[in-house]
Amino acid sequence: MSPILESSDSGIERDTRQTTMSTPENDADLKRQAADTLHVEMIPGTEIMRDVNNIHFSHAKGSQETVLIPTPSSDPKDPLNWSLTWKLMVIASQLIFTWVSVTGALSIAPMFPLLGMEFHLNVPQLSLLTGVTVITLGYANFIIVPLSNIFGRRPISIVFAVLIVLTCIWEALATSHSSLLAARALNGVVCATSESIMVQVIADVFFLHERGLWTGVYFTGYFLGAFLGPVMSGNIAARHGWRSFFWLEVALSVFAAIVLVVSFPETKFHREHPTRAPSSMGGSMNSDAEPMEKRPSVGERHAPEGERSATSSSSLVGLGRPGKVQFSAYQKPDSRWKMFIVRDTITPIRVFFNPIIFWAGLMLAGPADLVLLWNLTESQFLSGPPYNWNPSQVGYANFSFVIGGLLGLATAGPFSDWVAKRATKRNNGIREAEMRLPALIPYLALTVIAIVVGGLGYERLWPWQAVLVLGYALSGLAVTTVPTIAIAYAIDCYKPISGEIMVVATVLKNTLGFAYSYWVFGLAAQKGFLTVAMVQFAVTIGPALFAIPLYFYGKSLRRWTKDSDLHRMEDMI
């Protein structure tokens, strides 16, 4: 029997009567009582997704109401309690910021011919202009994640948005290859906020059952920047010169910074966790918050109105909004800043080889670097015979990625949530993190087609329609679906370290991507591009095969780390 299904079968059929449970002192006690009643082994990544204060044991008639995880506080300024309008405003502002950042950082490939002529560069030197940005994008998160935990998501986003403006000005004014290379490196450092902060924001404002969808939205916004940027750069460079593209990025970065100032409140919120009394840890970034009331039990919060206890308070979910202090330009640094520096620097290194997190990182790296492979080579491939496209036409080829990415946005998050929800229902309302993994199957099959068709198309000079539709478009679909499901799974298992998970994933992705600057063109010249495609096939599909043992034994891996202090790091936020 799969370990995923081991948690809820025993004892469920013994009693079909409604069970009345004594009111526990807090939600943690309530969940423990429910777990004992249902004979569920509660370890991180296993959740009771039903009203545990009103449990029916019948599969047919059991209560299947969704429990809110994490538990929101009774403060209307808690981001979990914000209205949908405010949550969408937060996500939209971060999406714009992410899109603009990625557009400037990863979009110069169509301009390679123009840059090569101006600075007399060969192909490896040109590809290094992308490679150096890719590597700094990954490793800068060792700085950004602790900064966002110390000073907050809002101040760090705004400061780095201003720094992006300055580096784009440098890129536009560069007069030598070395100057442009240095500007590109620093641009990667300051654009690295696009790699981690939005994932933290999603964990700040959305509940567990919503994160699959919004993780997909994030990856789509991120990669739409990588897809549409080359369209813009190719067309602008062909008509107005390559410097004009960077001046456009200056204007877009200014706009993104203004959007953040106006519509992005602070989302980091230190709520008192039900497993302990209010402490003197300090550092809460919500000094205008009202004293917390005694919160209702999970059952009181979700029970029908007539069944709620007379002493319970109404749920504030969907009714709250940010307070004035959350819009402050400056947030008081968290008094535990030393702890965050140590924790956020050491934790990514510590969890790097955690099997689940390392696997999720590889599942981001494979599809992302597949798109990078096409991005690095599209100009050389499409500008030569038999196609002979100009930079503008090469830029338009990236619309194929956009179409595939949008299809991924429309399907990956909802589909993975639906797969997990359906499996949860069959499992009597008990969700295991591994229930997301079967959603990978159709997307991995399409990824195989993308690699094979793209590699053969490059090698045999197939008609551009085949390369762009099946190679590029399906790669765009892969990069917005496979990482969405894999990263959401890792975050389900280790929710308190969502930022650190993204650090591990981006380091893997960007280290491999940086290496592409050195080996892709040399190997293609010696062995042909089909060999390059097969290396990419191994990097992308090889790790995906480990989803099978993870599905069956992932809970065992989670059990080994169930007592780790990684699961208590959420209390520190």
Q: How far is residue 482 CA from its own chain's centroid?
A: 11
Residue 366 has pLDDT above 50, yes or no: yes
Q: For the ranges 279-283, 287-291, 343-347, 350-354, which has the lowest average pLDDT?
A: 279-283
Residue 39 has pLDDT above 60, yes or no: yes
- Average pLDDT over every residue of 302-310: 35
In this prediction, residue 436 has a pLDDT band, given cuts at 50, 70 and 90, of very high
Q: For the ranges 67-71, 503-507, 510-514, 535-539, which has the lowest average pLDDT?
A: 67-71
* pLDDT value, residue 12: 34
Percent of the chain with pLDDT over 70: 81
CA–CA–CA angle 426, 427, 429 (5° rounding): 100
Q: How far is residue 186 CA from its own chain's centroid?
A: 23
In whole angstroms, give the CA distance from residue 235 to residue 247.
Answer: 14
Q: For the ranges 54-63, 427-436, 449-458, 509-518, which has the lowest average pLDDT?
A: 54-63
Token code pair at residue 62: 């059991």
- Average pLDDT over every residue of 521-537: 92
Q: Which residue has the higher pLDDT, 413 or 33?
A: 413
Q: For the ranges 86-90, 122-126, 333-337, 545-549, which has the lowest average pLDDT?
A: 333-337
* pLDDT value, residue 67: 67
CA-nearest of 162, 153, 161, 160 to 198 is 153
Domain ranges across the chain = 79-270+340-572
106-133: b (≥16 Cβ within 10 Å) or e: bbbbbbbbbbbebbebebebbbbbbbbb
Q: Does residue 367 contact residue 511 with C-beta atoms inside 8 Å?
A: no
Residue with tokens 């620093």: 186
The phi and psi torsions of 58 (rounded to 5 degrees) equal: -75, 130
Burial environment of residue 280 by CB neighbours within 10 A (0 to 12, 13 to 18, 19 or more): exposed
The average confidence (pLDDT) of the chain is: 81
Q: Which residue has the higher pLDDT, 40 or 279?
A: 40
Secondary structure (3-state) at 48:
strand
* pLDDT value, residue 66: 59
- Average pLDDT over every residue of 418-426: 90
Q: pTM of the entire structure? A: 0.75
* pLDDT value, residue 358: 95
In whole angstroms, give the CA distance from residue 420 to residue 173.
Answer: 51
* pLDDT value, residue 570: 56
* pLDDT value, residue 38: 59
Residue 280 has pLDDT above 80, yes or no: no
Residue 33 has pLDDT above 80, yes or no: no
In whole angstroms, give the CA distance from residue 318 to residue 209.
Answer: 15
Q: Which residue has the higher pLDDT, 220 or 131?
A: 131
- Average pLDDT over every residue of 213-226: 83
Report pLDDT digits (tens) over 315-337: 788 889 998 889 987 778 878 78
Q: Does residue 499 contact residue 347 with C-beta atoms inside 8 Å?
A: no
Q: Which residue has the higher pLDDT, 159 or 43?
A: 159
In whole angstroms, give the CA distance from residue 524 to residue 532.
Answer: 6
In whole angstroms, give the CA distance from residue 267 to residue 325.
Answer: 11
* pLDDT value, residue 119: 93
Report pLDDT digits (tens) over 452-490: 999 999 999 999 999 999 999 999 999 989 998 998 899
Secondary structure (3-state) at 42:
coil
Secondary structure (3-state) at 431:
strand
* pLDDT value, residue 296: 37
In this prediction, residue 299 has a pLDDT band, given cuts at 50, 70 and 90, of very low
What torsion do the CA atoms of 150, 153, 155, 159 make, to the nearest 10 degrees? 110
* pLDDT value, residue 332: 81
* pLDDT value, residue 142: 87
Residue 387 has pLDDT above 60, yes or no: yes
Burial environment of residue 484 by CB neighbours within 10 A (0 to 12, 13 to 18, 19 or more): buried
* pLDDT value, residue 388: 92
| Alpha-helix residue ranges (DSSP H) falling in 241-387 | 242-263, 298-302, 337-351, 355-382
- Average pLDDT over every residue of 345-362: 91
Residue 258 has pLDDT above 80, yes or no: yes
| Alpha-helix residue ranges (DSSP H) falling in 432-481 | 440-460, 464-466, 473-479
Burial environment of residue 505 by CB neighbours within 10 A (0 to 12, 13 to 18, 19 or more): buried
Residue 92 has pLDDT above 90, yes or no: yes
Token code pair at residue 401: 């990625």
Q: Residue type for 471, please?
A: G
CA-nearest of 481, 521, 187, 220 to 378 is 521
Q: Residue type for 479, please?
A: V
CATH of 79-270+340-572, one of 1.10.3720.10, 1.20.1250.20, 3.30.420.10, 3.20.20.70: 1.20.1250.20
- Average pLDDT over every residue of 140-168: 93
**Which of the given ranges, 228-242, 248-262, 363-377, has the highest pLDDT on average?**
248-262
Q: Does residue 495 contact residue 44 with C-beta atoms inside 8 Å?
A: yes
Report pLDDT digits (tens) over 104-120: 998 898 899 899 999 99
- Average pLDDT over every residue of 406-432: 88
Helix (H) or strand (E) holding 46: strand 46-48
Secondary structure (3-state) at 47:
strand
